[in-house]
């Protein structure tokens, strides 16, 4: 197994991608990432219509009731993170995005282009019904790895 030793920042729409087990979001993601060779500090910002009970203490929660508002806030936070870390261009970093409605020619796709540096390892988690053909059409080549949601939770390899 290859290890990716770097800090990981996660932008997660918990309304679209809920965890319905007794484990916290932080525990679940730390386990999944660790099983896939990602080690280092983990920082999660979660966006949702309501705060899940099992979110975990170390997760930052942003309340946004409607989908459009969640996506806009997440996009802004991703862009700001990218600008804030641009001076660390040679420091390895992982950035993971869990969001639905990632369509071609949207701001999400354009922001993902801006995240691409030799040091950034971009990870995308997509809905289970996201077809392989759509992934090619949306053009997320800036992602190092793409998982379907259930595959990620099951600890399976990325697509």
- The model's pLDDT over 93-104, given as tens digits with 9 standing for 90+, comes to 888 888 876 655
Average pLDDT of the residues of the chain: 79
40: in domain: yes
Q: Mean pLDDT, to the nearest integer, of 4-18?
A: 87
158: in domain: no
Whether 45 shows a pLDDT value over 90: the answer reads yes
Q: What is the dihedral of CA 152, 154, 155, 159, to 10 degrees?
A: -50
24: in domain: yes
Whether 63 shows a pLDDT value over 90: the answer reads yes
59: in domain: yes
State the pLDDT at residue 130.
67
13: in domain: yes
State the pLDDT at residue 61.
95
**Cα-trace Rg, the chain:** 15
159: in domain: no
14: in domain: yes
Domain that holds residue 14: 4-153
148: in domain: yes
What is the per-residue burial (b if ≥16 Cβ within 10 Å, else e) of 54-92?
A: bbbeebebbebeebeebbebbbebbeebbeebeeeeeee
Query: How many domains are there within the chain?
Result: 1
Q: Looking at residue 21, which CATH number applies to its domain?
A: 3.40.50
């Amino acid at each position: 197994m290859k290890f990716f030793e770097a800090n990981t920042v996660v932008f997660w729409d918990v309304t679209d991608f809920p965890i319905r087990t007794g484990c916290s979001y932080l525990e679940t993601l730390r386990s999944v990432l660790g099983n896939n060779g990602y080690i280092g500090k983990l920082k999660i910002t979660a966006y949702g219509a309501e705060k899940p009970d099992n979110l975990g203490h170390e997760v930052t929660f942003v309340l946004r009731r409607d989908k459009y508002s969640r996506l806009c806030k997440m996009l802004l936070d991703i862009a700001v993170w990218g600008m804030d870390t641009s001076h660390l261009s040679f420091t390895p970093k992982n950035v993971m995005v869990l969001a639905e409605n990632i369509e071609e020619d949207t701001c999400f796709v354009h922001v993902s282009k801006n995240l691409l540096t030799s040091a950034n390892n971009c990870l995308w988690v997509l809905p289970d019904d996201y077809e392989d053909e759509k992934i090619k059409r949306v053009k997320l080549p800036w992602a190092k790895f793409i998982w379907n949601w259930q595959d990620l939770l099951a600890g399976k390899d990325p697509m």
